[in-house]
Structure 1
Amino acid sequence: MKNWKLILGILLVAGAAGFAAYYQFAGPGGTAKKHISVNIRFGSEKKGLLSDVKFQEIMKSRYGITINGTKMGSLEMSEGAMDNLDGLWPSSELAAELFKNRHPEIQPRTANIFNTPIVLYSWPEITEALIKQGVVEKREDVFYVINMKKLLDLHMRGSSWRDLGLPRQNGQVNIIATDPTKSNSGFLMAGLIAVILNDGAMVGSADLSQHLPEIKKMFAEMGFLEHSTGVLFDKYIKQGQGAFPLVSGYESLIIEFYTAYPSYQDTIKKLVRTLVPEPTVWSDHPFIALTENGQTLLDALQDPEIQALAWERYGFRSGVMGINNDPAILKEIGLPPTIDTVTRMPPPPVMESMLEALRY
């Protein structure tokens, strides 16, 4: 009798444990999820999020998803065959439009997941010199580039940092961007430059022909261009003002760096200057679902807990309607709670023409 009771007790415990495991995987609906591996290409700025243990746990336990990702430039990921791919996660709507133009035979489902504006990163000494030139202005602890046209003119005139009163700073005044033919942030920067040179008016094909020589000259004089925005930002932080006095990138990068390294937060606040261009451009982060598995991931990425995690740890402003971000962390590192002065990018045919011209 005792043995029978012992055996029954073991079976009950095992059954309860099995049910708990099933419930955790199946969810309250009681229907077991099919575990799926989703193969995607993604922009480098999302590497931290996709590697996050909590992110991976939510994807696996709540949606049955394991992501197999390949890091690739947003403009590169639409090239080549799409075999065995479930989705693409570039860093702009323009990159998504380029994909649709290059692959008209594919009818994907697309939704924007995050937003992040393009900003400039610099240092106290450089920022003060630009303030004296009337290029930058500080308002409510945020630094704004209030005269982007003058900043570009300083470069086109061949002005050096020494001309701006910085005798130890080598090189000419210039914004260092990523390769616009490979990386989305460089691509967006090229579009923003075109709009600024066109006096803020939308750029058409005729306007592009007029400004293209200047745009090509600016990028040629930046020297070697990184293919990844994350790599450029990493070099900016590690190599400092001498090598990288003024670079462009995503706002999310400084938020991710700040939250990832608490011991460096005082140093970041003291030395790093984030300059918000007026106007700037938004970098959208649409997910392009190519298969049913890709659609499952697309839905999962809009989960409120995923959206909160992406903001709090990696600085991505939510692109999902009805989800708001807590602005507290922005004030700590000199970022505005809202981005109010924004321009639209030139239309896709104009940007594609510029892209082809910048390749050569």
Structure 2
Amino acid sequence: MRFTIRDRIHRLAASRVSLESSHEPVRIGEGSHMETKRIPAKLIGLIALLAAVAIVFGLVVWNASRPASTTSQPTRTVTVDGYLGGEKIGLFDDPEFGRIAAAQGLDVSYRKAGSLAMMDADQKDLDYLFPSSRIAVEYGKAQGVKAVRSDIVFNSPIVIYTHKAVADGLVSTGLMSVKDGVYRIDMAKAVTAMEANRSWTDVGYAAGYGQFRIDSTDPVQSNSGNEYAALIATVMNGGAPATTESVTRDGPRVKAIFEKSGWMETSSEDSFSQFLTLGVGSKPMTVGYESQILDLAVNKPDAFKQVKDDIVIAYPTPTVWSTHTLMALDEKGERLLDLLTSSDVQRLAWRRHGFRSVDYTGDDSIARFGVNGVVDQVTDVAELPGNQAMQALITALK
């Protein structure tokens, strides 16, 4: 039978009453000279009360010192659903991410969409949008998307993926450079070559077919293509961030460069996958995120081993940062935002998926990934154009 502390107090109090009402006389002395004396009832009551207090105090201390019950009710789990940029699917599918989310009572699901496309899509019953830049966030606001809270979660620089033969060919003509194993591509020279309709042979890669181009995702649907467009517009504006006036002037030139690529993917992850699958003949160069090759190295080591000696990561000069920003549409979305900015998820996002954060990239070198030609510090970074200029650029590219 189990008794609570209150039960024990009542039982002790009852014992005290019994002692006071029916105690026996106490005999003192020896043999026939024994003398009978009574202990005062008040003294017996006091002793009983002190004993009761001591026992109750002991029970309280004992209960407080016991470990928490392992049979407590688990945290109620809620499902959080929203649109997610494809390059972050690896993180959301990571079993460790699922465990961290479950510990906070969240079951996170997603629907893949381009950063700009998700702003135009039906958002009914969704809890969040997770595009890859503040440009997409501002575009969404212009389309009437209302977030209760938003914040930058991860960062990743825009890079250009190519192949060793292509990179070395472009180095020979000065379009690219290499120092200490790190390749860089001069974006001003690249834009000039594309506008002049130079062939692959002209820029140093004799095995290439047709005109020199750098493929990307659709700039009006996906962030990596959109930021590449911003980079081209900035180069055309003499290196200063594009303005509404410069976009009006240069918009047709930017569009002509994208038309060289023909059909474009709408997801950065699909574009990177096609680059890996189709090879140098079909995809000599393509725009992507630095995080994509780092994610591949950790999570698909066999696939990475097959391509590691051929793939070259070229940092554009200048480049731009992609700021992956979560837009919480309701309270559940806010809980997801809190989860994503927690130290556990930030650490996981860097070490297993290559997303840079303030907390983990400073003391944890990028060399941990075993990827050739990547850098700890990204230099030669351009500022993205303002919101109005970007909206004008998107309109010009439609």
Preserved CA contact (<8 Å) 2:366 2:374? no
| Number of the residue aligned with 2:70 | 20
Q: Secondary structure at the match of 1:189?
A: helix
| Number of the residue aligned with 1:272 | 311
1:1-360 paired onto structure 2 within 5 Å: 19-20=69-70, 22=72, 25=74, 33-61=75-103, 63-103=104-144, 106-145=146-185, 147-318=186-357, 325-329=364-368, 332-359=371-398
Are the structure 2 counterparts of residues 70 and 266 from structure 1 closer, same or farther at C-alpha, using a change threshold of 3 Å?
A: closer
Q: Deviations over 1:266-305 (max 9, x none)?
A: 4433100000011100111111111111111110111212
TM-score (norm 1): 0.87
1:82 corresponds to which letter in structure 2? Q
Preserved CA contact (<8 Å) 1:115 1:319? no
Per the TM alignment, residue 327 of structure 1 is displaced from its structure 2 partner at its CA by 2.3
Q: Deviations over 1:282-334 (max 9, x none)?
A: 11111111111111111011121211111122111126699854422356321
Q: Secondary structure at the match of 1:345?
A: coil
Q: Secondary structure at the match of 2:120?
A: coil
Q: Deviations over 1:193-220 (max 9, x none)?
A: 0001111012212111221111010011
Q: Secondary structure at the match of 1:223?
A: coil
Preserved CA contact (<8 Å) 1:152 1:174? no
Q: Deviations over 1:87-118 (max 9, x none)?
A: 111000111111222226x3521111100010
Worse overlay, 234-243 or 312-321: 312-321
Query: C-alpha distance in 1, partners of 2:358/2:131?
Result: 14
Are the structure 2 counterparts of residues 170 and 289 from structure 1 closer, same or farther at C-alpha, using a change threshold of 3 Å?
A: same
Query: C-alpha distance in 2, partners of 1:93/1:165?
Result: 36
Query: C-alpha distance in 2, partners of 1:247/1:143?
Result: 15
Preserved CA contact (<8 Å) 1:302 1:320? no
Per the TM alignment, residue 58 of structure 1 is displaced from its structure 2 partner at its CA by 0.9
Ranges in structure 1 where 5+ consecutive residues have no aligned partner: 1-15, 26-32
* Percent of aligned pairs sharing the same letter: 32
Query: C-alpha distance in 2, partners of 1:243/1:37?
Result: 41
Per the TM alignment, residue 68 of structure 1 is displaced from its structure 2 partner at its CA by 2.1
Per the TM alignment, residue 82 of structure 1 is displaced from its structure 2 partner at its CA by 3.1
Query: C-alpha distance in 1, partners of 2:350/2:211?
Result: 36
Q: Secondary structure at the match of 1:318?
A: coil
Are the structure 2 counterparts of residues 343 and 166 from structure 1 closer, same or farther at C-alpha, using a change threshold of 3 Å?
A: closer
Preserved CA contact (<8 Å) 1:318 1:325? no
Q: Secondary structure at the match of 2:240?
A: coil
Q: Secondary structure at the match of 2:308?
A: helix
Preserved CA contact (<8 Å) 2:147 2:327? no
Preserved CA contact (<8 Å) 1:330 1:336? no
- Bigger radius of gyration, 1 or 2? 2
Query: C-alpha distance in 1, partners of 2:361/2:334?
Result: 21
Query: C-alpha distance in 2, partners of 1:322/1:248?
Result: 23
Preserved CA contact (<8 Å) 1:112 1:319? no
Q: What is the RMSD computed on CA atoms of the aligned residues?
A: 2.3
Per the TM alignment, residue 19 of structure 1 is displaced from its structure 2 partner at its CA by 3.7
Q: Considering Cα pairs closer than 8 Å and 6+ residues apart, tell me whether 1 or 2 has the greater RCO.
A: 1
Ranges in structure 2 where 5+ consecutive residues have no aligned partner: 1-65
TM-score (norm 2): 0.79
